[in-house]
Every structure is written in structure tokens, then in C-alpha cells.
Amino acid sequence: MDRQPTSRALIEMEEQYGARNYHPLDVVIERGEGVWVYDVEGRKYLDCLAAYSAVNQGHCHPRIMEAAVGQLKRVTLTSRAFRNDQLPRFYRLLHELTGYDLSLPMNSGAEAVETAVKAARKWSYAVKGIPADQAEIVVCANNFHGRTVTIVSFSTEPQYREGFGPLTPGFTVVPFGDAAALESAVTPNTAAFLVEPIQGEAGIVIPPDGYLRQAAAICKAHNVLFVCDEIQSGLGRTGRLFAHEWEGVRPDMVVIGKALSGGYYPVSAVLGSREVLGVFRPGDHGSTFGGNPLACAVARAALQVLIDEQLAARSAELGAYFLGRLQALQSAVIKEVRGRGLWIGIELTCPARPYCERLMQEGMLCKETHDRVIRLAPPLTITRDEIDWALERLQKVLC
């Protein structure tokens, strides 16, 4: 058997042979179970990032594992040239869980966002009657929707765009949380408004109360599709199945990914009405791996775990507790603590990275986002005792 190299040796190997498109914390994880991960030297850490909310169900959840292993032994990939016995069940579960007529499965989140953009554009020409190639999509400043050329074309983060042109036209940026700005940006050629109900990568930015309701009403009044990117905010993270439910709105399309597979496998999807997703004809769009039987079996188990373990309700209850305790911390470096459910941003008055490094030394893994924010997003299976454990470390490092 291969002897496991040390963390140091593995980090050097990674730096030598890999493209440097990330700046990870220097922890080399070998194994995970529930909310805990273990490095190659056997040190144990509480995972407070949960792979950007892809692991809401906890690492290596046994029920998802069973579904994955069972399906691995049967068939993993048929391509959509043929049908498979898992995809229809996955479709039906998504429909029963969310009420949306149709869904379209992809792999990564970015692919699902691209799919929503294509659906919105095609709907706007075929149904709304916008002249060919004139469709506009309104998006928000400080958005994060992924990394493809089209998606970075409407990012407002200079680093995501610079050096990657020519960029895709057809997007208009408005400030997040400003319904009046959305209304003034709408033109007869507006196909859709694409928004994260809470901006995750921007630092857990929660819009003013009523914003999503107003945005939905503006969209409806102008026959514009209201599209929510729930890839990070969805599937229980904020204490509801979807973050948009906090405002009682019903988007025309919802984009999901990340926790859709509980972290086992890239699985994403777009949910929508028959009027919108019905615009796709065979050949319009596709993916070799999208809707494959392994992905569908894994995703069904991952969704079933969310339901059976009532992870959204858990997130609401434990998130409120965690947030309350954090807001009571007395610290010179904390500017603001905000969050919804088990999705909490601690905004500091200085760069957050050194604090994340120190928390790692204390056995807690967090990652800074947008420089000054520590994002806390543990698996939703975390217990109150484990939150107390985390609070002790946070207090030690921040206060």
C-alpha cells in the first residue's frame, strides 16, 4: 500500500503540478464524517464551510452513501441518448418537493445558471416576442453566479472578468436590494431578472425586507421572468427549503446545485414552469452527464435526507441560537454579525484571512469571503453542543 505523504509534502505536490486558481487554507483533508473532517496527520476539525453549502447533509452521509454505492454497482452513465430508470424518479421528487412543473438537470451550478440564461432568452423570443438577439437580463451588483465566460460577463468583480474578454453582452447590472433601480432598468427587451435571494459570496448580504416581493411584482408587471439562484441559499441553508420562501414569492425559475447531491457528486438543476422550461426542444441544450443515473440516485437520497431529518427547520432553530450568541460577543474587530439560518457572516473591521488561519489552528475550518467576512455555514446536522464548541473557539480568536 502507498504510504500517505505528510500534509507538507502534499501541499508542495499540489503547488508544483496544479494551476493556482485557488488560495486554500493549508489543511489537507483525508476523511470526513458528519460535521467533522480529519487531516492526513489525524487532526480533527469542525467544518464550518461545508463546501460552500454543498454538504448541508454532513460529510459522507450514510444514506446518501448507500444510494451512491448501490447505483455505482448497477449503472452510472447512460447519456440522454437513452433513458434510465433513475431520472424520472428524480424529476418526480423535485416536482413533489417544490411544486414546479418541470426541471432540467445539469452538473455544476454554473451550468445550471447558463441553462436558466438560455431558457430565459429563448422564452423571451418565443413567448414574449422580443426581437431576435435583443434580450436583456438584469442582474445585481456583487452577484456570484459562477465562472463561465457568460457568467463572469455580468460579474461586477474586476478579477473575475479581467483577462477573459471578449465578454458576453446582454446583461444590465443594478444595485442589490434596490427595487426602484430594478424597475428603472427594465425595458421592453428585458427577459429576466436573475438574483440571489441572499448574496453568499458577497458576504451573506441580506436585502431589505420586502425586496424580493417588490422585485417579483415588478417582474410580473413587465412580463419579465423572476429567476432565483438558490445554489448556495437553497436546500435548507437559511432555515427554509428556499431562501425566497422567507418573502412568500414564487420565482419563475429556481436554480439549484451544491447540496442537491449532499456533496457526493456535482448535480444541479433548473426548476421552472411548463411555459418557461417547455421552450426547449430536443437538441437545444444538453449535457453528457446531466441527468445520469448515479447523479439522480444520489440527488434523490440527498433530498430525502433533507426532508426526513428536517434540516431546514434545524437550520432555522440552531441558526437563530448561533446568531444570537455571536451577536452578543464583545470584540473590537467585529463590525457586524448577520445571517439567516445556519448561514452567518461575521464582518470584521480588518482582513478575515488571518482569523481563519487562527481558527484552523483551533480546529475550526472557515473561509473568508470578500476579504473582511468570515462565513459560517456548517453542515445543517450540527448539534447545539458543537455550536457551543465553535463559539468557544470564535471567542478565543476574535475577542
Ligand X SMILES: *Cc1c(COP(=O)(O)O)cnc(C)c1O
User: Where do contacts with ligand X occur on this chain (CB under 6 A)?
Assistant: 52, 108-110, 113, 144-146, 196, 200, 229, 231-232, 257
Catalytic site residue from 226, 229, 289, 322: 229
Please give the grid coordinates belonging to residue 357.
Answer: 488561519
Smallest gap from Cβ 108 to ligand X, in A, equals 4
Q: How far apart are CA 363 and CA 225, in angstroms?
A: 44
Question: Given the complex with ligand X, which of 130 and 177 has the nearer CB atom?
Answer: 177
Smallest gap from Cβ 231 to ligand X, in A, equals 4
Smallest gap from Cβ 220 to ligand X, in A, equals 23
Reference 27, options 343, 364, 258, 370; nearest CA is: 364
Question: Given the complex with ligand X, which of 230 and 386 has the nearer CB atom?
Answer: 230
Question: Given the complex with ligand X, which of 295 and 398 has the nearer CB atom?
Answer: 295
Q: How far apart are CA 285 and CA 240, in angstroms?
A: 31
Catalytic site residue from 39, 47, 128, 144: 144
Q: How far apart are CA 138 and CA 114, in angstroms?
A: 14
Question: Given the complex with ligand X, which of 231 and 316 has the nearer CB atom?
Answer: 231
Which residue's CB comes closest to ligand X? 109
Q: How far apart are CA 77 and CA 89, in angstroms?
A: 16
The SS3 call for residue 194 is: strand
Q: How far apart are CA 313 and CA 32, in angstroms?
A: 24
Catalytic site residue from 122, 128, 258, 367: 258
Smallest gap from Cβ 333 to ligand X, in A, equals 26
The SS3 call for residue 29 is: strand
Question: Given the complex with ligand X, which of 121 and 258 has the nearer CB atom?
Answer: 258
**How is residue 76 annotated by DSSP?**
S
The SS3 call for residue 307 is: helix
367 in catalytic set? no
144 in catalytic set? yes
2 in catalytic set? no
Reference 53, options 380, 387, 295; nearest CA is: 380
Phi–psi pair at 30, nearest 5 degrees: -110, -25
Residue with cell 445571517: 339
Q: How far apart are CA 302 and CA 64, in angstroms?
A: 6
Smallest gap from Cβ 76 to ligand X, in A, equals 20
Q: Annotated catalytic sites, by residue?
A: 144, 229, 258
